[in-house]
Amino acid sequence: MAAQPDVMERVVNLCKRRGLVFPSSEIYGGFRSTWDYGPLGVLLKRNVKGAWWRSLVQLRDDVVGLDAAILMAPRVWEASGHVTTFTDPLVDCRECKERFREDQLEDPNRCPNCGAEGSFTEARQFNLMFETHVGPVADDASVAYLRPETSQGIFVNFLNVQTTARKKPPFGIAQIGKSFRNEITPGNFIFRTREFEQMEMEFFVPPVDAPTWFEYWCQERFGWYVDHGIPEDRLRLRPHDAAELSHYSQATSDVEYAYPWGWGELEGIANRTDFDLRRHAEYSGQDLSFYDQETEERYVPYVVEPAAGADRTTLAFLLAAYTEEEVRGEKRTLLKLHPRLAPITVAVLPLSKNERLVPVAEEVANLLRAHLMIDVDASGSIGRRYRRQDEVGTPLCVTVDFDTLDDRAVTVRDRDTMDQTRVPIDSLLDELRGRLPW
């Protein structure tokens, strides 16, 4: 289906109407660029993170997990370079008083808000880290930071994990967690926010093997999005040019998605060299090298880092899945989400609230609940309930009707094809599992 120019607005409205994403603090007028995930949204985002973890950790024997603290010793951020280099160029419009990142302006001499020309102040560097204080006294000695990325928690735990997990390079450490950046220009719904969740993995390799592993992870991560339902023609892998590379990077490529406003980063894959481990070794005084007993070689591992944003990835899956089509003269809206990502896997629908049907629907729900995320919906016409489930991406519906009372069978309906199949209750779980790609 051709992309619709207002698809972003339609997806945002669907998210609010169906309980996926709400504006944070809405009863107080909201708080700029912060969002709360509702009953269905929290399931969707959890499934996105679960699919990432399954691919990066569960299905591999060379990656292990970690959950590091948000608050870390301030010295960590000095070693990483965030205290001095984690900045954006900030300009103010003297006419409308709006603030912008200078490097994101289409015309550096014209305000995109009010149209004034030559109204910008001189650019000044703005540090993106949120500063806080630890302890009862707010002074320079108590300064701490909310982490702007999860990766530093992995680097400072390199020795802990390497020795306790008994791993040797090449191996990875994966982590999902909250990060915080005081963005100058947040926006585009959940794409760019000040509080967000990252899915990062640091893959430690012998220096000579870093280019090979970099290319491997570029292809592996690009394929993950395609495998989970994003059309390949709406993705691209864009290498950074030399001027764009971060100070620690020898090579970086972004997996980008064609959002309604243009190409935007989903995930960055970077060859971070040995920058991080060397810096932390220097600042901490700890030896973070690895001794390979087989080759009798000691080296500081290079790191290849695939780093994705859980929120903007969730948004990309929603946009890619959003579909409108005409069925028998009526518009049908559905989310063609990969079944692994869908908030609800199976909806159980009694044909009506008839006192004979409801107990059987409850029996079916109890049969499935321990194995699949289900929803039981008995309100409204069956057609309207199908449409509700289509709109939130539920792959399969199970309908309990009056024939069920006689033949002990139910009707299984497919979201995408709308085909219906009669299935005995005794074999229902096996039938559903056979239809799901796991």
* Alpha-carbon span 108 to 118, nearest angstrom: 8
**By mean pLDDT, which of 97-106, 191-200, 213-222, 408-417 is the weakest?**
97-106
Residue 258 to residue 264: CA distance in whole angstroms: 7
Per-residue pLDDT tens digits for 1-41 = 344 558 999 999 999 999 999 999 999 999 988 999 999 99
Helix (H, G, I), strand (E, B) or coil at 325: strand
pLDDT digits (tens, 9 = 90+) for 138-194: 777 789 999 999 999 999 999 999 999 999 999 999 999 999 999 888 889 999 999
In sequence order, the 6+-apart residues with CB closer than 8 A to the CB of 81 are: 247, 248, 279
pLDDT band at 104 (very low <50, low <70, confident <90, very high): confident
Compute the chain's Rg from CA coordinates: 25
- Rounded distance between C-alpha atoms, residue 247 and residue 405, angstroms: 68
Q: Which residue has the higher pLDDT, 427 or 125?
A: 427
Q: Residue 247: what pLDDT?
A: 83
Distance of alpha carbon 237 from alpha carbon 80, whole angstroms: 27
Q: Name the percent of the chain lying above pLDDT 90.
A: 86
Q: Name the residue with tokens 């001794």.
A: 291
Q: Positive or negative CA dihedral for 241, 243, 245, 250?
A: positive
Q: Give the residue among 325, 333, 234 at the shortest CA–CA distance from 13.
A: 333
pLDDT at residue 4 in the model: 55
What's the helix, strand, coil split of the chain in %, to 5?
35, 30, 35
CA 279 to chain centre: 29
Pick from 78-92, 220-234, 298-312, 386-400: least confident? 78-92
Alpha-carbon dihedral 85, 87, 89, 91, rounded to 10 degrees = -140
Name the pLDDT band for 337 (thresholds 50, 70, 90): very high
Give the per-residue pLDDT at 2.
42
The arithmetic mean of pLDDT across residues 111-129, rounded, is: 91
Q: Which secondary structure element, helix H or strand E, spans residue 281, and what is its range?
A: helix 275-284
For range 235-240, the mean pLDDT? 98
- Residue ranges of domains in the chain, CATH in brackets: 7-71+150-318 (3.30.930.10), 344-435 (3.40.50.800)
Phi-psi group of 205: left, alpha or beta (phi > 0 → left; psi -120 to 50 → alpha; rest → beta): beta
For the stretch 354-402, pLDDT in tens is: 999 999 999 999 999 999 999 999 999 999 999 999 999 999 999 999 9
Mean pLDDT across the chain: 94
Highest mean pLDDT: which of 106-110, 243-247, 288-292? Answer: 288-292
Give the pTM: 0.91
